[in-house]
Amino acid sequence: MVTIAAIIYEPGSTNKNKTGSWRTFRPILDNKKCIKCENCYIFCPEGTIYEDKNGDFKINYDYCKGCLICVNECPVNALTSTREEK
Amino acid sequence: MEKIDIITGTTAAAMAAKLSNVEVIAAYPITPQSHCVEALAKYVADGELDAEFVKVESEHSAMATCIGASATGVRTFTATASQGLALMHEMLYIASGMRLPIVMLNTNRALSAPINIWCDQQDSIAERDSGWIQIYAEDNQETLDSVVQAFKIAEDEEVLLPVMVNIDGFILTHTVEPVAIPDEEKVREYLGIYEPKHAYLDPDRPITQGPVGVPECYMETRKDLNDAIEGSREVIKRVNEEYYKLFNRKYGNGLVEGYNLEDADTVLVAMGSVCGTIKYVINELKEKGKNVGLLRIRTYRPFPKEDVVEMLKDANNVAVLDKNISLGFNMGALGIDVSSVLKNKKVCNYIVGLGGRDITPQDIEEIISHVEGAKDGETKWINLKE
């Protein structure tokens, strides 16, 4: 059942909406080629790229919509893309 | 104690909004509504009404402001007409979809082109499916009473929908009539303070109103909205009765009003001020020994389907008057609706009074004599120049 007027009574509901399913192309980051310039991290419009505890950059595929801006911005071609398939 | 004032329909609506203790008014002037918000602006400026009066740059902004204000949990009012209502169009759907009990006076006026400031009901009919409850008042007294009732209906927890009170431009907006003004304290006690439980913007209790409705939930919210407006019929009837007990005035059962229906073989169906003219003609004919009835549709949405079937069960000639035209269907909206609920009955449709064309008692008599000799499904434009 939906709530009246589809009102959301708890904050933070966007976390529940995993927009990764919208993706047609998946960006793939090769950490061996990565020079840690942070361009992808800065340009990602959804904030789905993060630095892990080892200092490596990772992509959160739960929310990455596959816009591929990161692929476009990477100066060393460490980011490539592939079509999502079932 | 009620006092009687001689006032226009727009003043009656403004007084009703004041009696109802509205907290936010956002409006843009447009003929023939302007006197209504002008009066409200004066009440606020003179300190007679403790409300926020927001001057906006368009009707679209007026409705957007009302939506924002209502979402914070305050009683909200606006008024418009014609092109102004059309400009509000997308906002109207948001008000109903967000379940905000905004009350609006719409002073029925023709739509352009050609530009025309005079009365017909095309403007509100064009917003038929917007999820707003639509009430059509017959006179200035009913205008005042309907605006007060509109808040009671809109804010009912089973309803929570916006209400549009429609009055005929110039015919009611610029004509003075004696109107009984109820006691302010009594009205305010009746309406109480609007305290929404379903939604209001509060920093201490963050919620999201008007979120994205994805395909997985959109259809259910539309069904919910439809259930709410369908269910509002009972609330409208109840409010009509409650109001009668407190203020001694009622309008049929709240949805429809029958006039001289008993033993009437020919019945006219109409909305708004033309019903006054029809009643006059009915009385004249009665003196001559002819019996004609009137079924006045007071609430157009929700449409009183069951009442129409029940109250017209003995009529053989049904003449539906429309101050609007569904272009490409050669019928008015009310004619289409009445035809769709009446089975095996002669229903004829009469297009009248577009763009302020007068509807005279002679026109009504012409309709009566036409429908009695007509075939089912005929549409006739009345008082059309050759």
Average pLDDT over residues B311-333: 98
Q: What is the CATH number of domain B3-247?
A: 3.40.50.970
Q: Give me the pLDDT at residue A1, please.
A: 66
Residue span(s) of chain B under CATH 3.40.50.920 come to 256-381
B247 Ramachandran zone, left/alpha/beta (phi>0; psi -120 to 50): alpha
Residues 6+ apart with CB under 8 A from B140: B7, B8, B9, B12, B167, B172, B175, B176, B177, B179
Least confident of B15-19, B111-115, B162-166, B208-212: B208-212
Give one DSSP letter per residue of A17-72, joined into a string.
Answer: S-GGGG-SEEEEE-TTT-----HHHHH-TT--EEE-TTS-EEE-TTT-----HHHH
Determine, for residues B224 and A2 on separate chains, whether the beta-carbon distance falls below 8 Å. Answer: yes
> Is pLDDT of A86 > 70?
no
Boundaries of every domain in chain A? 31-86
SS3 category, B45: helix
Q: Give me the pLDDT at residue A13, please.
A: 84
Average pLDDT over residues B181-189: 97
Q: What is the CATH number of domain B256-381?
A: 3.40.50.920
Q: Is A1 on the interface with B (CB under 8 A)?
A: yes
> Is pLDDT of B291 > 80?
yes
User: pLDDT band at residue B238, thresholds of 50, 70 and 90?
Assistant: very high
Angle of helix B140-155 relative to helix B184-191, nearest 10 degrees?
Answer: 30
Q: Is B105 on the interface with A (CB under 8 A)?
A: no
Q: Is A15 on the interface with B (CB under 8 A)?
A: no
Residue span(s) of chain B under CATH 3.40.50.970 come to 3-247
Q: Is B192 on the interface with A (CB under 8 A)?
A: no
Please give, rounded to a whole number of angstroms, the shortest distance from the CA of A4 to a CA of chain B. Answer: 7
SS3 category, B104: strand
Q: Is A13 on the interface with B (CB under 8 A)?
A: yes
Determine, for residues B160 and A4 on separate chains, whether the beta-carbon distance falls below 8 Å. Answer: yes
CB B78 within 8 A of CB B25: yes
Please give, rounded to a whole number of angstroms, the shortest distance from the CA of B76 to a CA of chain A. Answer: 18
Within 64-103 of B, beta carbons closer than 8 Å to A belong to 97-99
**Over the Cα atoms of chain B, what is R_g?**
20
Specify the higher pLDDT residue, A15 or B135: B135
Average pLDDT over residues B379-383: 98
- Give the tens place of pLDDT for each residue, B56-114: 999 999 999 999 999 999 999 999 999 999 999 999 999 999 999 999 999 999 999 99
CB B44 within 8 A of CB B53: yes
Among A2, A8, A9, whose Cβ lies nearest the Cβ of B221?
A2
Residues 6+ apart with CB under 8 A from B203: none
Give CA–CA dist B136/B356, Å, rounded. 17
Q: Is the ipTM of this complex over 0.90?
A: no
Average pLDDT over residues B269-284: 98
> Is pLDDT of B41 > 70?
yes
Q: Give me the pLDDT at residue B113, please.
A: 97
> Is pLDDT of B1 > 80?
no
User: pLDDT band at residue B125, thresholds of 50, 70 and 90?
Assistant: very high
β-pairing, B177-181 with B3-7? antiparallel
User: To 5 degrees, how large is the angle CA B133–CA B139–CA B143?
Assistant: 45
Q: Give me the pLDDT at residue A37, please.
A: 97
CB B380 within 8 A of CB B351: yes
Average pLDDT over residues B274-288: 98
Q: Taking the CA atoms of B278, B283, B287 and B293 in sequence, report the sign of the dihedral they define.
A: positive
* Of the options 3.40.50.920, 3.30.70.20, 3.30.460.40, 3.40.50.980, the CATH number for the domain spanning A31-86: 3.30.70.20
Q: Give me the pLDDT at residue B199, please.
A: 87
Which spans in chain B are helix H?
A: 9-19, 34-45, 59-71, 82-97, 122-125, 140-155, 184-191, 218-247, 274-287, 305-311, 333-341, 361-373
Could you tell me which of B125, B41, B129 has the C-alpha nearest to residue B77? Answer: B41
CB B22 within 8 A of CB B66: no
Please give, rounded to a whole number of angstroms, the shortest distance from the CA of A31 to a CA of chain B. Answer: 36
Average pLDDT over residues B149-172: 98
Give CA–CA dist A63/A59, Å, rounded. 9
Please give, rounded to a whole number of angstroms, the shortest distance from the CA of A63 to a CA of chain B. Answer: 17
Please give, rounded to a whole number of angstroms, the shortest distance from the CA of B211 to a CA of chain A. Answer: 7
Q: Give me the pLDDT at residue B299, please.
A: 98
Give CA–CA dist B128/B96, Å, rounded. 12
What mean pLDDT value characterizes chain B? Answer: 97
CB B22 within 8 A of CB B76: yes
Q: Give me the pLDDT at residue B352, please.
A: 98
> Is pLDDT of B19 > 90?
yes
- Give the tens place of pLDDT for each residue, A26-74: 999 999 999 999 999 999 999 999 999 999 999 999 999 999 999 999 9
Q: Is A54 on the interface with B (CB under 8 A)?
A: no
B163 φ/ψ angles, rounded to the nearest 5 degrees: -125, 135
A chain contacts of residue B199, beta-carbon cutoff 8 Å: 4-5, 7
Angle of helix B140-155 relative to helix B218-247, nearest 10 degrees?
Answer: 130
